[in-house]
């Protein structure tokens, strides 16, 4: 059971701890005032990475080797010089795609000292020295199909989900908004666009099944059963039994099929959690009633969990990386755009509020 967690917000990084009385409370903070777009707690080490999205001065990466006692600025993933003859424009709006990191949207550990980083505008970066240096995966960036990616929520496309196969760290699968699901079996030397069965209802009917037009809002993998993937898609919830090659859309979902986030129990591929919302025109809880939905049978049935969540009208939206699950699959935490943070010790049956007054929450992760 975890006793600590980290929360990345629009205005800094916060540590939450369970105190001697068993209550969760804010125990520390770093980088107050600076947006923390992504964080990574490396398992079994005191190493933590925090990605900052400074409004004026660009994207930065900070790393601590001692659990937060001290931090060092590390190189941020950077694009190579763009050749003058290369034309790179958004396929629908004609805007020039910047070859410059605008936001770090995913940060994941692979083999020891190996990191993967996904950014807006659509670059995937690789490090083999724990973030001392980064290399753009050119095979993906230079793939002509990458130029057909389009922005989803942001001006340009971005990689928000990176799944490293626990059986084989060379097998990596990514989710792109908007650009579908891609996988490599050789650490990025070759890529395959996958995603049969996905459906994009925002596209013309003849394009709805095109894997390249899919908008996976969040993609997660069950470590105990790595072929099982869950996806909160822009217009539905999908599940895959073969690592993302084929997908099945769930039907008759309670409340709404829209949302941004999903978490899977690391030890049980059939148990997953979502935070439904009214679809893209509004992006608030349905009927202003904040709930978490949970399936324990692979998506056939869903429970709506609300004990401890607000009875009063609530307008909290939960972003892609703002729902976390502990390694044992018992604890959950989620934070909202209105700065509320809840934790559950029983897989979501009951929720305890930690704070209603944090800055807008962008990402969460349990420590240990």
Site residues (vs another protein, CB under 8 A): 54-58, 60, 73, 76, 78-82, 98-101
Smaller CB separation from another protein, 98 or 360: 98
Measured in degrees and rounded to the nearest 5, phi and psi for residue 93 equal -105, -10
Nearest-approach distance from CB 213 to another protein, in angstroms:
28
Smaller CB separation from another protein, 34 or 316: 34
Nearest-approach distance from CB 30 to another protein, in angstroms:
13
Measured in degrees and rounded to the nearest 5, phi and psi for residue 322 equal -100, 15
Smaller CB separation from another protein, 28 or 80: 80
Measured in degrees and rounded to the nearest 5, phi and psi for residue 170 equal -80, -15
Nearest-approach distance from CB 337 to another protein, in angstroms:
18
With a CB cutoff of 8 Å and minimum separation 6, the contacts of 198 are: 180, 181, 209, 211, 214, 216, 231, 233, 238, 247, 249
Smaller CB separation from another protein, 57 or 92: 57
Nearest-approach distance from CB 83 to another protein, in angstroms:
11
Joined together, the tokens standing for residue 223 give 């470590």
Nearest-approach distance from CB 119 to another protein, in angstroms:
10
Smaller CB separation from another protein, 158 or 276: 158
Smaller CB separation from another protein, 60 or 234: 60
Round to whole Å and give the CA distance between 100 and 81: 9
Nearest-approach distance from CB 210 to another protein, in angstroms:
30
> 273: left (phi > 0), else alpha (psi -120 to 50), else beta?
beta
Residue-by-residue DSSP string for 109-173: E-STT-EEEEEETS-EEEESSTTSS-EE-HHHHT-GGGGG---SSSSS-EEEEEEE-TT-TT-EE
Joined together, the tokens standing for residue 3 give 């006793």
Smaller CB separation from another protein, 71 or 202: 71
> 326: left (phi > 0), else alpha (psi -120 to 50), else beta?
beta
Give the H or E element holding residue 323: strand 323-325
> What letters, b where the CB count within 10 A reaches 16 and e where it falls short, cover 234-264?
bbbbbbbeebbbebebbeebebbbbbbbbbb
Nearest-approach distance from CB 52 to another protein, in angstroms:
9
């Amino acid at each position: 059971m975890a006793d600590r967690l980290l929360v990345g917000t629009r205005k800094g990084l916060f540590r939450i701890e369970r105190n001697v009385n068993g209550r969760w409370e804010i125990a520390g903070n770093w980088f107050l005032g600076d947006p923390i777009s992504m964080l990574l707690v490396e398992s079994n080490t005191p190493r933590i990475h925090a990605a900052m999205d400074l409004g004026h001065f660009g994207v930065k990466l900070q790393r601590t080797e001692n659990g937060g006692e001290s931090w060092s600025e590390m190189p941020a993933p950077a694009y190579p010089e763009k050749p003058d003859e290369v034309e790179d424009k958004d396929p629908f709006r004609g805007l020039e795609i910047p070859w410059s990191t605008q936001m770090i949207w995913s940060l994941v550990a692979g083999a020891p000292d190996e990191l993967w980083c996904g950014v807006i505008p659509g670059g995937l970066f690789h490090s083999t020295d724990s973030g001392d240096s980064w290399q753009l995966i050119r095979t993906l960036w230079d793939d002509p199909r990458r130029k057909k990616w389009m922005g989803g929520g942001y001006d340009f496309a971005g990689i928000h989900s990176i799944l490293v196969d626990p059986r084989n760290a060379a097998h990596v699968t990514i989710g792109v908004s908007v650009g579908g699901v891609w996988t490599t079996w050789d650490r990025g030397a070759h890529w395959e666009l996958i995603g049969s069965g996905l459906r994009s209802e925002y596209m013309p009917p003849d394009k709805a099944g095109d894997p390249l037009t899919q908008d996976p809002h969040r993609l997660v993998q069950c470590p105990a059963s790595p072929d099982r993937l869950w996806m909160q898609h822009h217009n539905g919830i999908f599940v895959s039994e073969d690592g993302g090659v084929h997908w099945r859309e769930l039907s008759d979902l309670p409340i709404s099929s829209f949302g941004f986030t999903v978490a899977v129990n690391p030890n049980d591929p059939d148990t997953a959690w979502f935070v439904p919302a009214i679809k893209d025109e509004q992006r608030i809880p349905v009927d202003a009633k904040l709930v978490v939905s949970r399936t324990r049978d692979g998506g056939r049935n869903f429970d709506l969990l609300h004990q401890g969540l607000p009875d009063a009208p609530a307008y909290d939206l939960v972003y892609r990386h703002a729902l976390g699950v502990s390694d044992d699959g018992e604890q959950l935490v989620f934070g909202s755009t209105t700065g509320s943070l809840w934790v559950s010790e029983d897989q979501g049956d009951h929720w305890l509020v930690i704070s209603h007054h944090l800055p807008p929450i962008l990402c969460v992760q349990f420590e240990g």
